[in-house]
A = this chain, B = another copy of it.
Amino acid sequence: VTARRAALIGCGMVGGSLMAALRAAGAIGHTVGHDRDAGHAERARALGLIDEVVGDAAAAVDGVELVVLAVPVRATAEVCAAIAGAVSWATLITDVGSTKLDVVDAAERTLPDPSRFCGAHPMAGTEKSGPDAADASLFRGKLVLVTPGEKSAPATIAACEAMWTAVGARTRRMPPAQHDRVVAWVSHLPHAAAFALAAAVGGVADEVAGLSGGGFVDTTRIAASDPTMWRDIFVANRAPLLAAIEALDGELHALRAAVEAGDDAAIEALIARARDGRKRVVEGRA
């Protein structure tokens, strides 16, 4: 994708990183940013992630060829409705949200020409948020799931993939429903586990403060993520997430029963299965 003018709606870490990366790649010219939180937009401009702040979403997208939505997933429909009358110049409207069925549905219901919308989800988030956490190299070597809706035009899909390739990412195309099932397992469930673990250990913080090692730090790193953003993701992806939590609950109960019974073989088998499962998931090729 090459755009003389581009608009970023939502000037947080992921959107800000993408604009900075596209500019570094020479793929975009003038960048307009809008954020419900004017301070975020101003900060993004001060950091050089965008060139200009516009206080109104419709005015921000006016005359631009590329529109990137980087708002909490639940805000997608509202933002699409706000910009619907002003996106006639856009050849690609895309997003970076962590759930896709709801986002694609909102975009298709709200945009005047849904053929020019194609959703995407970079698997490159961190526990940080806000424009100060933006990093132009965030997507280098990372995987981006590109999730066309049924109405996305082939040229739109290709433009979306080209945009991510331009910033150094690998892309893999999959339908929104498959995306939501996959991320329930590899992203949303780990967050749920990390939140539950950090909350549990936090309950005895007075006794254990300062005594943790690298294991606790890494296992709960993503528990430092933004509560509002993750509340939205969990609710948006409720059914796949609940199925995944069910499976985690089953494994945790199996482990608890084996420990309670002092069943050496069962404990060792579960740990070996965990180690093997992790290896297959992490080292498998997408």
Contacts and interface: CB of A to CB of B under 8 A. Distances in A.
Contacts of A253: 249
Given A272-B227, A282-B217, A196 B255 contact: yes
Given A186-B216, A215-B191, A286-B211, A270 B222 contact: no
A193 interface: yes
Nearest to A276: B202
A213 B251 contact: no
Interface residues of A, number: 93
Contact of A190 (B215, B241, B280): B215
A187 B200 contact: no
Given A252-B252, A255-B245, A262-B238, A275 B198 contact: yes
20 contacts: A123-B212, A123-B213, A125-B214, A142-B213, A143-B210, A143-B213, A185-B200, A195-B255, A196-B251, A200-B247, A201-B277, A204-B247, A215-B221, A216-B281, A216-B282, A218-B221, A219-B219, A230-B271, A235-B262, A235-B267
A182 interface: yes
A259 interface: yes
A250 interface: yes
Given A202-B276, A205-B284, 14 more contacts: A123-B213, A142-B213, A185-B201, A186-B208, A186-B215, A187-B213, A189-B201, A192-B255, A195-B270, A197-B274, A198-B275, A219-B222, A234-B259, A245-B255
A190 B220 contact: yes
Contacts of A183: 211
A223 interface: yes
Contacts of A211: 123, 143, 145, 172, 182-183, 186, 281, 286
A143 to B, nearest CB: 7
Given A219-B222, A228-B268, A186 B213 contact: yes
A202 B267 contact: no
A144 to B, nearest CB: 10
A37 to B, nearest CB: 17
